[in-house]
Amino acid sequence: MLASRYLRLFLLLVLPCLSACSSLYFPPPPQVPLLTQQGEWSGSLQTNFSQNTSLQGAYAATNHLGVMGSASFLHTDKKKRAEDHDFGEVGLGYYTRIRDTRVLEFYGGVGVGKTRRIERTPAEGVTRTLEGNLTKYFLQANYTSKEHKSFHVLGRDWPINYGTALRISYMQLDNFRLDGLAHAPEDNVFLEPITYTRIQLVGPVQFQLISGSNFGLRHRKYLKAANSVFQFGVVVNVGGQEGKK
């Protein structure tokens, strides 16, 4: 059992290495607040090896109604490519407990942002510039257990729990410009199934690993599923229920 847990953590770390970086869309991780009762709030800060960083927050407005929002950004400047990607999302949804120890959530929402890429070579300098506006509409389901298991390492027990989420998104790339000239817009439908692992560090603070896949249901040249759904960071839940409370 312990070996399978370490294998899961290993896979979460190596999966992002399988992805490419040729799309103008860098997906933020589906937010999984795991709300359980009115007044609870959840916050997270996470990033990945591509420097795609997300700040997320959610609040339980009633005993079954949750609201959430997130902001993600990526700004890199490398020899062959510079990327500027800013994106924000808001959502509204329903959450409930199942058999006391499990949480089920459904959310729907919208996201907007902008993206820009500059491609270049050492010999020619800038070879191409791509930029446009992004709009997203999404539906999402989250399922997990609030009951923690533990593994013993480094002389102490580490509470751990797992969960899954599935998001379907309709994405539009509008006002698309290629080298400053108007280009035909693109759209796509993305399926983003993920799994996540949370390890309790201290109090309500948990370390989180998210890994999953990104599938584009339409063949597109610039708006496609080419970047990983992978993040690592910290999550804080305050005011909620644990286990069988």
What pLDDT, on a 0 to 100 scale, did the predictor assign at position 245?
38
DSSP string, 104-170: EEEEEEEEEEEEEEEEEETTTEEEEEEEEEEEEEEEEEEEEE---EEEEETTEEEEEEEEEEEEEEE
What pLDDT, on a 0 to 100 scale, did the predictor assign at position 243?
55
The structural domain count of the chain equals 1
Q: What pTM was estimated for this model as a whole?
A: 0.84
Please answer whether residues 62 and 50 qualify as being in contact, where contact means their C-beta atoms are separated by less than 8 angstroms.
no
Tokens of 25: 């869309």
What pLDDT, on a 0 to 100 scale, did the predictor assign at position 192?
94
Q: Residue 52 has what DSSP assignment?
A: -
CATH number for the domain spanning 135: value is: 2.40.128
SS3 content of the chain, % helix, strand, coil (to 5): 5, 65, 30
List per-block mean pLDDT (blocks of 10 residues) for the chain, which spans 245 residues.
44 41 83 93 94 96 97 92 96 90 94 95 88 98 80 80 94 96 96 93 93 92 87 93 57
Domain assignment present for 80:
yes
Domain assignment present for 244:
no
Domain assignment present for 110:
yes
C-beta neighbour count of 134 within 10 angstroms: 22
For residue 141, the enclosing domain spans 2-238
C-beta neighbour count of 146 within 10 angstroms: 20
Domain assignment present for 245:
no
Domain assignment present for 201:
yes
What pLDDT, on a 0 to 100 scale, did the predictor assign at position 145?
76
What pLDDT, on a 0 to 100 scale, did the predictor assign at position 9?
46
Domain assignment present for 50:
yes
Give the helix/strand (H/E) hosting 9: helix 2-14
C-beta neighbour count of 84 within 10 angstroms: 15
Domain assignment present for 243:
no
Question: Which of 38, 73, 40, 39 lies closest to 55 in space, CA to CA?
Answer: 73
Tokens of 216: 């584009």
Domain assignment present for 161:
yes
